[in-house]
Structure 1
């Protein structure tokens, strides 16, 4: 998998600067990296059981992480060199000294989001189960056809000149457009990290973009600050209390209680905890903070993408409020409905315009739709993945599913908790509770886990 180095004059067949290309079936194709490993410790060392801080709160800083349970190989991506043999998918099966087993899977994010990754694990486990039990193989419907998403654009992505009206609609969406080219060297990511690529230096548009882009707020993000990882488990009853509090909308809001999801309410609640734990920037309670929510596009385009669609069709939209509001439990309803209003703007027409606009960006990978640090929280959801139902033929299902996120200041990941009865799947995704993984600067995390409002 390699990035194209193509300028503005070659748009045929989806060829654009920086767009990834997938090749397979060649002799030099590395295929899937598969590693079998052993580790001299018991399975609980890889579970978040260390230093419990009250009912349902676990500090995970001491648990085994991806450097042990995932293959130590580079994944193909934007940093891969020409002619590389980096794999796009790597799997490791690790045996523990007490007989336990961990299965670690990593895949290039541009090829798979959480939905696609979970489908791979479901399909793999179903196939393996058939081999073990000598039963018919399952029908596997997934299809990798990324151009289907291009077909959902507002107009043809191969237009020579973009339609300004469509671009205007796209730019009206609540998206950050933080620009690497316009951000100088403040980040400390090394010389050249913010330079215009050689392939585009002769493009007049590149110089114009570098001057007009939105600078990244590196002064609000200390990339070297130690980060802690905590998991908070909410029972379905606790989640219901949070939802009832958030859905108690004042008359000034033109919404109904039924329009607010449990997911909306939970995100708003955790955001208030994070903002209080961080405190206002330089003591300014009127400073703005941002909740950057990752949304899937499968059901937000017209017509919806087929359920078999593989890929990573994601966007990140943001809700922005003053710290004084976004840190207040008393304002939970306002915060939740503000987030709901942000998501409601992502209509099929608006998303189609955004797909079109991205295709006409000179170098879309230079733009960040989110940020980290004191003023931002990135939200990603693994709800509805049903990974606790996977059975590789042993008759047993996972004891714990752990989505591995980087240790960065300001990441929130949500997924369903382990079902009480995995033999009876179905029902609402939160029926057996919800696990919320939070990654936050260490001192702020220390304040968050002591917050009396964690359980409302």
Structure 2
């Protein structure tokens, strides 16, 4: 289906700083695999997209002058930690052609077919010291459409930092220059522990505690073996407004109204509990992600390039409460979790990570010498990330804005991303993964309960 024409290593077009760049404590706790993203472009009015692989290569090499850490390599050090060598070894760019038409990929649900559109690394045979930190695959389709599939190291950047880089590359590809306010900030010591090393013992931090198990189970092995399916669900502007209305019905004013994310995510959590049909006394938690750029003191520069996100965990709730109480209950629990990520919460978490002799158990990959799946966050729990505020649809390489941007892979039960719908202002798209046995019921309840709650 996919034929590769070329694969190149792209290095910075000018000399860049050489040496070690200290990673933050948050970087050290991140998964060391790569996050895949697909960016889809279609020709406008049957006009041919003015694509040039040489322009893509040259603009990428120029972007790496500013984002030079991406051209480096990671190395293992003591305690399961990593260090970054800024050595300009380069990133990988591949040009590919698809025999299948773009329309054959449907709505770009992150399933097996979509995985042909982004670069992959065999983590079992390639050492981390050899792995590029950013890989891109540009796939051309018979219709003239394009897919820019990227994979960026989780250690290097969170979603906002990754999109800042991708948009900077696209701007250079358009022949424009980067402004002073678009330059990345590379000092990651701002998110290091403020105690070196911590002088006091630290108990387990809530961000690293294990989520509840199914009643009667001592581990997650049986649930992890169950088949999963991915889906993309569209939520219209009217449906979003209806959920916000319901979430805010029981709010004691003058409290700040629940956002569309809080309302939609609360609804998702309830529906997941409903289709999993567990005991009413089943405990469950939701894992969210908080951007801490403006939560830590002093605030981080907006151009901070690295990981500036932190897990926000709800308190443990019961199925019975989530399903019997109004939507405001679930939305309120989500808000409480996000608001708990304060400067004190963040600094205590940084101290906790720094205090660990081995950070391997904290990382999203438990086995640091070989690739493993991320820790199981599924049944009876959910992970709901918000991509609503990310500048996903600003990525214009000179071909116009993309028609779709979304995750390249989603295979962990209970994991979901809430994104903007580019075709309909105010509408949302939810990329989700659930056990296959639950998916059809989830879709039914999700839409039906918007109006029946």
Deviations 1:238-277 (A, max 9, x none): 21211121122355xxx74425322111111111111111
Whole-angstrom distance in 2 between the partners of 1:62 and 1:405:
6
Q: Does 2:69 match 1:69?
A: no
Whole-angstrom distance in 1 between the partners of 2:404 and 2:449:
23
Q: Tell me the CA shift for residue 118 of structure 1.
A: 1.0
Matches within 5 A, 1:51-90: 60=109, 64-66=113-115, 68-74=116-122, 81=127, 84-90=129-135
Whole-angstrom distance in 1 between the partners of 2:288 and 2:412:
16
> Aligned pair in 2 of structure 1 residues 359, 142: CA closer, same or farther (>3 Å)?
same
Q: Does 2:414 match 1:434?
A: no
Q: Which has the higher contact order (CA 8 A, sep 6+)?
A: 2
Q: Which residue of 2 aligns with 1:325?
A: 321
Contact 1:41/1:98 (8 A) holds in 2: no
The alignment's C-alpha RMSD in Å is 2.6
Secondary structure at 2:285's aligned position in 1?
strand
Runs of 4+ in 1 over 6 A off after TM superposition: none
Whole-angstrom distance in 2 between the partners of 1:63 and 1:405:
8
Q: Tell me the CA shift for residue 294 of structure 1.
A: 1.7
Identify the match of residue 266 of structure 1 among 264, 274, 285. Answer: 264
Deviations 1:277-328 (A, max 9, x none): 1111xxx211101111122221221111110101122222222210112234
User: Unmatched 5+ residue regions in structure 1?
Assistant: 7-16, 50-59, 180-215, 421-430
Whole-angstrom distance in 2 between the partners of 1:290 and 1:267:
13
TM-score by length of structure 1 reads 0.73
User: Unmatched 5+ residue regions in structure 2?
Assistant: 1-72, 212-216, 365-374
Matches within 5 A, 1:18-57: 18-25=80-87, 29=89, 31-48=90-107
Whole-angstrom distance in 1 between the partners of 2:305 and 2:428:
26
Matches within 5 A, 1:272-291: 272-280=270-278, 284-291=279-286
Q: Does 2:118 match 1:120?
A: no
Q: Which residue of 1 aligns with 2:344?
A: 349
Contact 1:301/1:351 (8 A) holds in 2: yes
Whole-angstrom distance in 1 between the partners of 2:121 and 2:206:
36
Deviations 1:152-184 (A, max 9, x none): x4x32x13x5324xx36xx4x6434249xxxxx
Whole-angstrom distance in 2 between the partners of 1:3 and 1:178:
28
Secondary structure at 1:401's aligned position in 2?
strand
Whole-angstrom distance in 2 between the partners of 1:236 and 1:355:
39
Higher strand share: 2
Q: Tell me the CA shift for residue 42 of structure 1.
A: 0.8
Whole-angstrom distance in 2 between the partners of 1:145 and 1:117:
16
Contact 1:174/1:342 (8 A) holds in 2: no
Q: Which residue of 2 aligns with 1:54?
A: none
Identify the match of residue 414 of structure 1 among 418, 438, 452. Answer: 418
Q: How many residues align?
A: 361
Q: Does 2:361 match 1:366?
A: yes
